[in-house]
Amino acid sequence: MPGQCAAQALREGLRPMSALRPSPIAPTVDFERDGVQHGFL
């Protein structure tokens, strides 16, 4: 899966930030208002 590594990186590094806003470190991922991740490129 092309997004598997990216998903793991998100769980390890960006989960605390996902509730605030999309992280500038991960421009390939969008977060909805409730913090659900989607839009892997």
pLDDT at 41 over 50: no
Q: Band of the pLDDT at 34, cuts 50, 70, 90?
A: low
pTM confidence score: 0.21
Count the Cβ atoms, other than its own, within 10 Å of residue 17. 16
Nearest to 14 by CA among 34, 31, 39: 31
* Entry field: residues in the chain: 41
In 1-41, DSSP assigns E strands to 30-31, 37-38
Q: What average pLDDT is seen over the chain?
A: 58
| Amino acid letter for position 35 | G
Instruction: Report the share of the chain in percent with pLDDT over 90.
Output: 0
